[in-house]
Amino acid sequence: MTAPEYDLEFVRSQFPNIGELAFFENAGGTFVPAAVSDRIYDYMRRNQVQPGASYLASTEAMERIDRSHRRLAEMVNADAREVIVGHSTTMNVYVLANALKPSLKPGDEVVVTNLDHEANIGAWRRLQESGIVVKEWQIDSESAELGGTQKLEQLLTDRTRLVCCTWCSNITGTINDMQAIAELSHSAGALLCADAVAYAPHRALDFKNSNVDFLLFSLYKLYGPHLGVLCGKRERLLELDNQNHFFFTRSALPQKLQPGGYQHETAASIEGIVEYFDRIFEHHFGESECSTKERYEKIFELFAQHEDEIAHPLMDFLNSKPNVRIIGLPEVDFTRRVPTISMAVADKRHREIAAKLGEQNIGVGAGDFYARRCIDALNLGAGGVVRISMVHYNSLDEVARLINALDELL
Ligand SMILES: Cc1ncc(COP(=O)(O)O)c(C=O)c1O
């Protein structure tokens, strides 16, 4: 099948809040399609009762939440019992670290990076209070890259129990070779916890074939409601301690790792993300017979091509500016990076630049984005970076507006 032409107008028509604001802070949280926001509204009007009781509003509420959970699992090619939903990725990592703690002994080792968002570092570092040794896999202070797996290899020992690493940096947009990291971690007898929060908005996730033991992503950065998802290999999850009420057993998945549950109206809206992707697929590929996995691969291939196309003019423009340092790979290449482009400007007026763009209804971010250790390692502690993050619904016109505005400011 030849690739269809990408229909950006159709894509944008799915998002009610696409309009005057040229939005480039997608790595902080994306817009949601009507299929998601309508479900939240509808759930609250029709089903806002305790789910799982015997009356219609309640049985329907349960069905909506269950269906969302099942379809979320299908979307990332995981079993439903392998999918834990919580308030955020940060919360999910805390729950996971607490659940894992009893199986670790003093002297056991955990590897974290200084590239990750603090969500996949802080909870692991706190294990030091229980005698766990935490080692840091450090980025190169110029390239901002972890640089293959050689450095990781040197950190691994027969006491390493866990490696925690981001699949894609929320600062540089660099995609790490998770397959190689998984193989190496496993060969040392360690588990792998991969943060796919910055990766998932741009590439299809395939948990079953990923070789990752624990996979994290946040739905509010994947065109959905403000929730975080933790996928865990079933046998690994079964080994973890219960973090919920005492009457949940060790095999109660996903409940034992969802203390406090999560908001029902947002839970029921997750199905809207899937409906959105279904619409995109059917619009571009018709009723073609594909497995779910193939459908997502095709959708995200279309997205990646478009993202590269709109990233090119911005990258060329930034490269032409002598007072700009692009953090990470200064090239567009969807095999190596996503279009999350951070820059440091010589005089570090980062917040001022973001504010000036904001006055023109252009949204970008400035700061460290909670990847503080990465920003410090790159000697950018004073002002962080300006981050311009695009996704598949951004347009060339928006990029042109951004470039024009930046040209006045840089
Ligand atoms: C790469 C990355 N990991 C983790 C997180 C934390 O996600 P959450 O806000 O769901 O805790 C973020 C949030 O910005 C992120 O960009």
Distance from the Cα of residue 208 to its chain's centroid? 17
Residue 245 burial (C-beta neighbours within 10 Å; 0-12, 13-18, 19+)? exposed
Give the residue-averaged pLDDT of 230-259.
97
- Is the CA virtual torsion 50, 83, 218, 381 positive or negative? positive
Tell me the CA–centroid distance for residue 101 and ligand 1, in Å: 22
The CATH T-level fold of domain 8-33+292-409 is: Aspartate Aminotransferase, domain 1 (3.90.1150)
pLDDT tens readout for residues 110-152: 999 999 999 999 999 999 999 999 999 999 999 999 998 999 9
Mutate to test the pocket of ligand 1, among 25, 87, 89 (most ligand atoms within 8 A of CB): 89
> What would the two tokens of residue 330 be?
């200064």
Residue 22, helix vs strand vs coil? strand
Question: What type of residue is 30?
Answer: T
Q: Considering the chain, tell me which residue range(s) the CATH 3.90.1150.10 domain(s) occupy.
A: 8-33+292-409
The CATH T-level fold of domain 39-272 is: Aspartate Aminotransferase; domain 2 (3.40.640)
Q: Considering the chain, tell me which residue range(s) the CATH 3.40.640.10 domain(s) occupy.
A: 39-272
Kindly give the number of the ligand 1 atom that is closest to the alpha carbon of 198. 1
Tell me the CA–centroid distance for residue 195 and ligand 1, in Å: 8
**Confidence bin at 347 (pLDDT 50/70/90):** confident
Mutate to test the pocket of ligand 1, among 96, 218, 226, 385 (most ligand atoms within 8 A of CB): 218
pLDDT tens readout for residues 164-186: 999 999 999 999 999 999 999 99
Mutate to test the pocket of ligand 1, among 25, 112, 115, 170 (most ligand atoms within 8 A of CB): 170
Amino acid 289: pLDDT: 84
Tell me the CA–centroid distance for residue 155 and ligand 1, in Å: 25
Tell me the CA–centroid distance for residue 322 and ligand 1, in Å: 31
**Confidence bin at 1 (pLDDT 50/70/90):** low
Please tell me the distance from the alpha carbon of residue 106 to that of residue 98, in angstroms, as a whole number: 15
- The fraction of the chain above a pLDDT of 70, given in percent, is 100
Residue 228 burial (C-beta neighbours within 10 Å; 0-12, 13-18, 19+)? buried
- DSSP assignment of 106-135, as one string? TT-EEEEESSS-GGGTHHHHGGGGGT-EEE
**Confidence bin at 382 (pLDDT 50/70/90):** confident
User: Which protein residues touch ligand 1 with a CB less than 6 Å away?
Assistant: 88-90, 117, 119, 166, 170, 195, 197-198, 218, 228, 370
Give residues with Cβ within 8 angstroms of 338, minimum separation 6. 168, 173, 175, 198, 199, 201, 202, 203, 307
**Confidence bin at 318 (pLDDT 50/70/90):** very high
